[in-house]
Structure 1
């Protein structure tokens, strides 16, 4: 039970990073004496509003079939949002995110994988919601809620910071998807690369030749109004 777990928590002493001093959020971390329960909270420094919280229970139990149906978990997440979403929120779009166990490559020796790797799978339903305008998601206004599939309790949430109403561009006079794709490929064509696949400490028998995107110059996008390709430089080399 989450209440029993929370009762065992104590505040952790932490040395905040330099960037946290400028952040509008204050971070708090908690753990149980046996370090099997962790929690973290982020609150707005000015208002005290909790904008993120997470509770993690580290157990030795193997993954169990879900006891709580997904639609019931979704109802829990939806009811939570109806109460705590930003007052400026009018429309939300739900994005389904379901964990699917991927099939391992044929060259992976399962007996050499880390102990317990295949036994401990996520035990939460994850629900993502986006604020929308004219049916278009606003990507920096997102909500994430995790619901335990064994208990039906919320184990973590992240709320979009309350903001004023945005003056968003009109989506009527935009280029088509085909025009955007043409502009993208004109500026960002796939590049031939030799890749040697690796899974944990195991490698494929030999390298393979693939076409893949080259992001060495940064990531890019196509302006839907002008059709211009815009590069966002990477900051990998920054200190």
Structure 2
């Protein structure tokens, strides 16, 4: 991207505000933005990873889901839900391989994109980024491990409660909270994030609504009793409320 572009400063600002790129010197952020091109993708665009893995992408706005599905049963599981400032194709960046993952845009999205070779060159030239990248990769691996253990060890109510809590700001000091990234998703989508089906998730949310734990209706989800939701997740009370 040309530094004279009207979008250059906006793109650099988004990276500076992201947890992955924050703390880097301005010249490193400006360097990667210069190597990128800015793209816009329409909502509900679906792309198999073999069509995207040769480029590294960083979201500037909107949300992207990475998922896997069983073509025989039609069942789908969401692996990652990404928001602004987060990258995707990061595993391909590290191992140089395509992975069996489907990418779907949940909103109209804006992103930065650059060839994998350029991304690896930028990594070589800015080794200080590894101090941010390694913890981020650790979080991604923990997320996958948590998903696997939830599917194997917990019932639907517990899995749904854990999903919502993972998207609540840890600094929340109130019983009321708006989950980040997932508050406007359909019940079918929420079900695909916990390995369930829409009718089961809908029934559970309606039950919690009657108990005053959540306010849930089409395209809207709010937590009304955060402490009780934490109890349903079989966890200690939300740390910010303890």
Task: Assess same fold via TM > 0.5.
Answer: no
Max Rg structure:
1
Q: Which has the higher strand share?
A: 1
Q: Give the structure-1-normalised TM-score.
A: 0.27
Q: Give the structure-2-normalised TM-score.
A: 0.27
Work out which structure has the larger RCO, using CA pairs closer than 8 Å and 6 or more positions apart in sequence. Answer: 2
